[in-house]
Amino acid sequence: MKELESNKNISCCNSNDGIKLQANILITGVKGFVGQNLVASLKNIRDGKDKTRNIVIGEIYEYDIDSDESLLDIYCKDCDFVFNLAGVNRPKDQSEFMKGNFGFANMLLNTLKKYHNKCGVMLSSSIQATLLGRYADSDYGKSKLAGEKLFFDYANETGTNVYVYRFPNLFGKWCKPNYNSVIATFCNNIANDLDITVNDPAVELELLYIDDLVVEMLDILEGKEHHCVFDGINAVGNNDGKYCYVPTTHKVTLAKIVELLKKFKNQPDTLVMPEIPEGSFAKKLYSTYLSYLPKEKIIFPLKMNIDERGSFTELLKTENCGQISVNISKPGITKGQHWHHSKWEFFMVVSGHGLIQERKIGSDEVIEFEVSGDKIEAVHMLPGYTHNIINLSNSEDLITIMWANEKFDFKHPDTYYEEV
């Protein structure tokens, strides 16, 4: 990598001859929440498990507060990019902020200069460095602002690229609860039946999900980072901005966070999965919540409705997209024999050998579909058609996954008995 120009990202991969160059990456603060997630992603790329990136990872140098200081010299001499995630945010004494957030950054940059290593350096700062509003008297913010100035001065002195990010509230898997993330604390406590305290439900937080952050950090290595300027505490995209930012954040009230988490907690009882659209805060929060479940809650029972014919079990319900169930029919058994005005279903036999019959109400014509787990197919149960499913085997159960377009409502079942 050293033959690349000092002010270039490592992503160009020697495009003239098509050969990708290996990049050795140094991560400080590697045992922290962000560090753990970043290292996991870098290792996936290095080991060929993630082939979506146009970079080749060589050595991953992991450095933390308890590392031998001599390693910093070795790593700074050989690295091609630095993610500086090291910092102090919950010290015993306020003076430790400056020592941990400014002091270490200074040592890191001096070590890079010692070996004339002009590789790019990313700095994790905080929105508190704006020193605006409720952050005006923040010692943590002051230490982060001092660190930012140090990095910008370093860039001016050496011509090196620096990438300074002011993070809002972070959340995601592996974040330590009861520390500095309200999401981590709420997820942990609700998952483990512990109390939470919400002083003002209307408070709105700007939240950045760890996977979105890691995507941006990998984008730096490909020269695709996002730049911005700050309007107060708000990042505004600007290609010429000296700061960098993650474009995807979520502004959510504490009330909404708690509402969603309670729905997630109740899901094993209600079987109802709240709406979790692609890219939504709800989807990211649910993934986070699940990572805090204790062992005894990872598994939960389902109510099986069992009789001499077999069983029927509801598996999952959704708020707007119906429900999924599994039906088990014993050998020779016929189930169904009913029809619906508006409801429609899919029957998908996954094991066994069966026959599905359907007949339009008021007609004598029966349509039939022979089905088998050896060739899994989806069969529509049509509105206005009475239907059944017959186990044709004399020895094996017939197992059918059933999807209905709406949750079953005991008050309005839309289900009427009539033999096919």
Task: Count the Cβ atoms, other than its own, within 10 Å of residue 69.
Answer: 9
Among 61, 75, 135, 140, the active-site one is 140
Is 140 tagged catalytic? Answer: yes
Task: Give the span between the Cα atoms of 251 and 235, in whole angstroms.
Answer: 13
Q: What pairs with residue 399 in β-bridges?
A: 328, 351
Which pair of structure tokens corresponds to residue 32?
A: 């922290």
CB-CB contact of 85 with 220 (8 Å): no
Contact 159, 116 (CB under 8 A): no
Of 399, 358, 397, the C-alpha closest to 380 is 358
Q: Where are the alpha helices (DSSP H) in 67-173?
A: 70-78, 96-98, 104-114, 139-158
Which helix H or strand E contains 270, and what residues bound it?
A: helix 254-270
Question: What is the DSSP code (8-state) at residue 413?
Answer: -
Q: Distance from CA of residue 407 to its chain's centroid?
A: 27
Asked if 142 and 99 touch (Cβ cutoff 8 Å), the reply is no
Cβ–Cβ < 8 Å for 365, 343: no
Give the 3-state secondary structure of residue 313: strand
Are 210 and 170 in contact by the 8 Å Cβ rule? The answer is yes
The encoded tokens of residue 393 equal 């085997």
Q: Could you list the active site residues?
A: 140
